[in-house]
Chains A and B, each alone.
Chain A
Amino acid sequence: MAGLNARGSEPGAEDPFAKACAAHAAELYSVARHVLHDREWAEDCVLETLLRLRRSPAAHRDERGSLRAFLIAAVRNDALDQLRAPSGRSRQTVPNFELPGADVRLIDPVEAERVRDALAALPAEQRDALLRAYYKNRSLQQIADERETSAQAVSAALQAALERLDAASVRAVVL
């Protein structure tokens, strides 16, 4: 992997891992903070994830695509693991989370506006599943229980929602 392979860097050369960490640190912290709701816990989570990835020489390969997206998914997955573990400090979620308004600083306000429009264009079932999964940190079974449907149905809705979100983004760029 070109992105995170520690052994690929010579002493004194610019470290691609360090560069990626610095470029995305605040964003990764924001993602972890949204899951864990605790500054110290979220900071530890990000650092532990980055250490874990660095220890694994094959963690990311260029053909996988965006390093930023990979890091966000890794940090968020680790944060959710900690939240859902029996020894987790709390079981809190964000029951009433709504997409923030214009008065709240966002990770990427321009992209957030596109996401908001794309979400609004989704069928209600898909939008609801996506909001519960990503912004309310629900598990697949929790979403299925809350919507009184099966986990398989939720899974299919989420896959379709992500594909539509992508297509909406492409249309926005073309227009």
Chain B
Amino acid sequence: MNHVGEAAELQALGLLGPQERAALERHGAGCSECLRRLGLAEERAARLASALPWAEPSNDFMQRLHDLPRVLAVERASMPAEPTGAGAEEPLGRAQRMALRWAEERKRSAGLRLRAYLAGLAVAALAAGLVFALSHGSESDATLRGDELTMSALAHGAFGQVPLVAGTEPAPDGRVLYAKDGSWIFVLVEGSAGRLHLALSAPGGLRDFGPLLQRPGVATLFVPSAHRPLRVSLRDGSTDVASAEPKYDGR
């Protein structure tokens, strides 16, 4: 594309759609001049935000914000092993490599990539929790207990799983893992999810969470603030290609 021009101001003011913004970002990634222009427009627009009314976020929001790095650590730990160059180091080090190697062995013996991936997820989550606990010794006991509970929910089965049921053919083969209290959703699809989007249905309506993250051999998406969706679906446009209905505690 050409240089960003006045699209920089439109982007900063919220007047471009997702595809137009993505095109700007792609251009900005390789054009320092345009990247600086995008930044300048954002800086100018951010001044306008100063005059907006202050809204106090809830304690729940702040706690979930505090947990974001751990959510991402679990996500990274759950990624299948990728070929790495000599001397390359994975983010979580030896514990993660052991977990992933274990998952790989399971995969070879069972011949079921998705099942191995699920098993690897639990071990990797435990590994992530261990690394986190070791590296945050100075945090308060209450905070640490909360983080350990989060990891423990993943690692010790305080979650359920249901298969995705085909709505159309061909449909992806996959599963939905979910917290028993409905607080998070983790979707895994074997192979490629292509352009399918994840959508969660709740009494308040349908929400689109965008495409799954494609990893080697599997596509995933973790939604940390799911709020007990009644139905989890993979959609191609407005068509449900596959869906699942989690069964939470107390329902």
**Interface residues of A, Cβ cutoff 8 Å to B:** 6-7, 11-12, 15, 17-18, 21-22, 25-27, 29-31, 33-34, 39-40, 42-44, 46-48, 50-52, 54-55, 58, 61, 63-66, 68-70, 72-73, 76-77, 80-82, 85, 87-89, 99-100, 104-108, 111-112, 114-116, 130, 133-135, 137, 139-140, 155-156, 158-159, 162-163, 165-166, 169
Contact = CB atoms under 8 A, between A and B. Distances in A.
B157 to A, nearest CB: 24
- B interface, over-half SS: helix
Ranked nearest first, the 10 interchain pairs of A and B with the lowest CB-CB distance are A65-B39, A12-B135, A111-B50, A69-B46, A108-B50, A64-B39, A112-B51, A69-B42, A11-B135, A33-B55
Interface residues of B, number: 71
Contacts of B48: 115, 130, 134-135, 165
A68 B181 CA distance: 34
5 contacts: A12-B135, A12-B136, A69-B42, A133-B13, A165-B47
Interface in B107-132: 131-132
Given A48-B209, A165-B44, A99 B54 contact: no
Contact of A21 (B10, B28, B65, B135): B65
A26 B56 contact: yes
Contact of A29 (B18, B57, B136, B213): B57
Contacts, number: 210
A81 B210 CA distance: 11
Contact of B65 (A7, A25, A42, A66): A25
Interface string B11-33: 11111111001000000110010
